[in-house]
Chain A
Amino acid sequence: MTKIFIYGIDGAPPELIFDRWKADLPNISALIENGIHARMESTIPPATNIAWNSMLSGQDASKIGVFAYTYKDNDGNTRLVSSNNIKTELIWDILGDKKRTISLFVPLSFPVRPINGMMVSGFLTPDIDSDCAYPKELKEKIKKLGSTDNFFDVTQGLAGHKSLDIDTLLKRTYEMSDMQTTLMKDLITSEDWDLFITVLIGTDRLQHMLWQHFDQTHRRFIKDSKHKDALKDYYIYLDKKLGEILNLLDDDTIIIVASDHGMARQEGKININNWLMQEGYLKLNKDIKEKTRFKFELIDKSSRAWATGAYHARIFVNKDLEDWQITLEEIENKLKLIPDDKGEQLNTKVFRKEDIYDDPDAEGCPDLTVYFDDLSWASNPDLGQEGLYSWETAVGADSAGHSRQGCFIIAGPGIKKGKLGVIDIRQIAPTLLRLLDQEIPKTIKHKPIEVT
């Protein structure tokens, strides 16, 4: 019987895995050589909490019902999203009692729900005392691994990831990954399963902070940094852990290595709400002088549009406008003309909701989604910023941001060899179902990848 093991590496960019560091990653290289690999187009937006759930459902953000890390509750308060916000069936729901799934650290799986198998939630988990494990007895195994403060994410209990010195960040990232991979190895051998899904978040945490230490093309490149090899070393560590895991798997197991999005150096940030104010679309009901995070409560009722979203921008046009359509088109056209800080033209992409989503009427769906310079520039919705450009948000600087394409590698019994063109993240769930010999629900529109 076919089994599938997924080694998820959050934000691993194809440029690093398939090219730049391939020779240093013997286990990943062997899977590439012996199987199929492809660049994988992520969700719009390429956000961690949305993209992994898209991979595991075959659906886009509008069907999942999540566009950001927050949503508005009935009283208009901004609340954090959780697994309760997910509107679509995920792979373990579709497999039901036919196949047994173990899911470890999938983003947005907190709070966990009973499934046919086991589940430990991902980086949005508050702590070990919360609903983070199914069955609950798994918590006892986790407690034996080390400090649970550091188990779900490196930032837990810290003042702020971005204010953390890099040595501490690295130490915590390795501690977290050691504990997580130890749990993986334990459950691989001690439990029965058909599908085993894991997501390791350390790469994302390090990449946001370390990009300018190794990428010579970064505009804030740090020459001869003592951390210049730190990210590469972490990938080598992940590859070694993968090797240990491969040794534990049966011969009838298909291996997938995948990432939910890529990563690319960040040039800077465009102060999107400043721009909307400058163009006369946004008015605040208060005079803001200091750097302040954008809040809906600060929007004056006469405003025509406003924006949220770090990295990509989400634009909402006031629904009460008589000339809603004209305003939308105007903003769409003007956004594409915003230049960089040196006056150079940017390759900015603006998406209308009806062109990208299966359910453009879903609650919280932005009217426009904007990738400044195809995500090389980020959006900064903060208020009280000077001018149009900034180099850090109210919480700190960024070295890199998410890019559109992640990696997909599959190898094992019956899998062909070769390189494919770009695939879509929504093709993974139907591919898994076909490999496990299960029917693909009609609600999944994307076709499985031809891997056998």
Chain B
Amino acid sequence: MSRLEVRNVWQSFADHVVLERLSLSIASGSFVTIVGASGCGKTTFLEMLLGQTQPTRGQILLDGVPLPAEPSPERGVVFQRYSVFPHLTALENVLLSSELRRSPLLGRLFGAARREARALAWQWLEAVGLGAHGNHYPERLSGGQQQRLAIAQALVNAPQVLLLDEPFGALDPGIRRDMHGLIRQVWRQTGVTVLMITHDLSEAFSLGTRVLVFDKPRIDPQAPHRYGATITYDIAVPARGRPLPPAAPAHAAAPPITPPSEKERTHA
């Protein structure tokens, strides 16, 4: 289970209200895509989900428990850039999470524990198509390969939620299509709850089971920072079909949207 609940969350910096009245509930195993103009708080929302910043008001709960106030292993993340460590080979990058979790003092594993973690890391490298690049440093990998690596690294120890901040924004269209296939596949296989920020509307609708649109519903021309952005549309996307017409404006707590069929297995 990994049900996210956002309860009347506000985020403001001094007088500048960035986000206001965010309330929503995300079912376990959803693939939520988040779109909206630049500067309307998508990234701020993601930073709050990560624990990088705390909401000014309101609460974010994972399975009914407030999220820790700092980044923690139940949330995996892939950024647009700097997601992998340049000083580690691809294999070491994937291995790192096992080492950090199981060896808090040395950050390294030895003997049988290491062999086991290595085997798991290799499996993930193979799964994202980097089986031939395990011993390469990230600088020798292409942009798409680096993002594949970042996905494997984030997922190897099964976080409950995967946060993606425009992960494919810097990639060529062809590569981006491959990456869509990959992320869809790992989402289906792992049943992880995914939240992905994107600029690309077609990407948002083709990948997501639910699309959130962030925008500023109220604007005071005299004081542009007086009101923040919120979720103006909350759209359920039926698997492989047209998007449904916009659901009710999501200011009030939106009901969890029925997840498509893949999700049922995760619930079970």
A-B complex is real: no
Chain A: residues with CB nearer than 8 A to chain B? none
Interface residues of B (CB under 8 A from A): none
